[in-house]
Every structure is written in structure tokens, then in C-alpha cells.
Amino acid sequence: MTTQPVAHASGTFTIGGDLTVHRLGFGTMRLTGNGIWGPPDDRAEAIRVLRRAVELGIDFFDTANSYGPYVAEELIREALHPYRDDLVVATKAGLLRTGENEWTPLGFPAYLRQEVEMSLRRLGTDRIDLFQLHRIDSKFPAEDQVGELAALQKEGKIRHIGLSEITVDQLTAAQKVTPIASVQNRYNMAERGADPLLEACEAQNIAFIPWAPLGSGPLVADGGPLQRIASKHRIKPSQLAVAWLLKRSPVMIPIPGTSRVAHLDENVSAAEVTLTDEEFAALSEPEQ
């Protein structure tokens, strides 16, 4: 009897109508050095993490040119190239890195084009399955930024376009330029300001990729619902945070990241956690 990989228990979502992935993905930001700057302390372990993720059934990897910068994309190529046909690598541009923990929006269309070309080279592919605008830069018209990605899509260099850290109004405006396949905003049990955007994504079957998915805020207080329910399931609060996201919405694709194989195994096992409606409601209360 063949046992399915753990991540497959998360179910699937089809991005852009033609890219079906399992709903528990992997975010590569934490594979880099301190401050998301420079190479990892243990490069061999970073490579093992990526390969182990595939073994566990993960087929959606989220990265960006700014992680390192460039380091995460290079690690993905080293670990996973040549890519399996069912493996999706999503990357981003739109944030300039000038030092540790420094992130400056840069949406100059020629820069975005350059970074698409460079990501193609670093990843070793002819087309990026999902390319996301990391931030909309207020210094340039948003339609010019999205429009440049749309032009690259027409040239066959991008398959689908996504946006990060946007509002519902910005999503609507971008859709007047080109179809949007995904949205990536900060979202977790404790930070749910993007609920209106999530609802818009649900209505239009757009993938919602929450970053900082393990946040729990006051929910993790001693005796609180997160610790109580985690203990009942014999799992860690971080695993419960992922399970909550998976139950929250069918368009949700959580991407918890880590630089250690042991932590990866813990995160992915959350795909097999089934919350009752009562447990989900207790974790979803706005004030704890």
C-alpha cells in the first residue's frame, strides 16, 4: 500500500485556472542569512530543507529576488533543478535591498523587466509560473508596473501574475490591466486585516498566499485556546496556526518557511490536522 506524501493532506488549489498545487507550500525567505541578507549559515542544510520539502509532497515554492538578495533563488536552482513537471516556483520583484532588514519599494518598469530576466537566469527556466509584484511603488503609476508584467506575460516569460500587500481597490484596478492569479498579504490568526481582500479572492477564485502565517499574538497566552487545542491534538501552536489557515479558506495557500529540516517536518505535519468547527470558531474569536 502506497502512503501519500504528508503535504497532500492539505488538498489542492488551481492557480490561474491551470496550475494545480497542494495547498501547503513553502516560503524560502528564512533560508537566507540574518536580516534576510546574504547566504545561510548552513548552506547544506538549506539544500536539504528544499529537497525534503519535495519529499513531503510540497510542490509550491514561494521566493523573491530580494531574499538574500538573489540567494534563495540560487538555492532553489541548486536543490531542485531540473524541476519536476508538477513543481511550481513563484518569485517576486519590487523591493530593493540595501542592507539587513531594509526593504525599499522599487517599481520602475524597466527595473521590473530586468529582474524578471535575471530571475529566469537564476532559476534556470524559460518561464516563471507565477511572478508577483512584491510591492506597488507609489512613485510610479500602478498600471505601468502591472502593465510591464503583463507585457512580459505576453512575451511568454511569465505564466501568471500576482500582487503582494495590496487592498481590494488596488486589486480591482490591477485587474483592469491584466488578470491577477494570486494575492500575497500578511495574514494569520492574530492579524486578519486582509479579511476583505481574502473575501474578494474567494469570490473570484484567486489564490491567497498569507505571509507570516505562524503569527498567533494573544491567542498563545497560557491557558488560551491555541495552547488548549494544540495540546488536545498533541501538536505545537505553530502547527495549529497552519491548520487554522488551511481551514479558513479554500483559496488559502500557507507558505511557512524554515531553515531546518526538523522544523520543516513539524510544519508540514499540520496538513494532517483536522480542526472541528468548534475549535476553528474558538481560534477565530477577534478578542481573546
Reported as a single tens digit per residue, the pLDDT across 40-85 is 999 999 999 999 999 999 999 999 999 999 999 999 999 999 999 9
Q: What amino acid positions are annotated as catalytic residues?
A: 67
The pLDDT of residue 222 is above 80: no
Range scoring the smallest mean pLDDT among 18-27, 74-83, 121-130, 214-223: 214-223
Among candidates 195, 209, 101, which has minimal Cα distance to 164? 209
Rounded to two decimals, what is the model's pTM? Answer: 0.95
Rounded to whole angstroms, the Cα distance separating 97 from 247 reads: 35
Give the strand pairing for 95-96 and 104-105: antiparallel
pLDDT at 2 over 80: no
Among the listed residues 243, 252, 234, the one whose alpha carbon sits nearest the alpha carbon of residue 282: 243
**pLDDT band (50, 70, 90) for residue 190:** confident
Domain boundaries, the chain: 6-283
Sign (positive/negative) of CA torsion 160, 172, 241, 105? Answer: positive
| 31: Cα separation from own chain's centroid | 14
Grid cell listed for 104: 525599499
Decide if pLDDT at 216 tops 80.
no
Q: Do residues 176 and 144 make contact, with C-beta atoms less than 8 angstroms apart?
A: no
Residue range 231-280, pLDDT digits in tens = 899 988 889 999 999 999 999 999 999 999 999 999 999 999 999 999 99
Phi, psi of 201 (to 5 degrees): -65, -40
Residue in the structure block whose three cell numbers are 520539502 = 53
Q: What CATH number does domain 6-283 carry, 3.40.33.10, 3.20.20.100, 3.40.190.10, 3.40.47.10?
A: 3.20.20.100
Q: How far apart are CA 201 and CA 180, in angstroms?
A: 10
Alpha carbon distance 168, 237 (integer Å) = 30
Mean pLDDT over 218-233 rounds to 75
| Residues 6+ positions from 186 with CB-CB distance below 8 Å | 165, 193, 194, 210, 211, 212
Q: Is the dihedral of CA 50, 249, 105, 136 positive or negative?
A: positive
pLDDT in tens, 92-146: 999 999 999 999 999 999 999 999 999 999 999 999 999 999 999 999 999 999 9
The backbone region for 184, taken as left when phi is positive above 0, alpha when psi lies in -120 to 50, beta otherwise, is beta
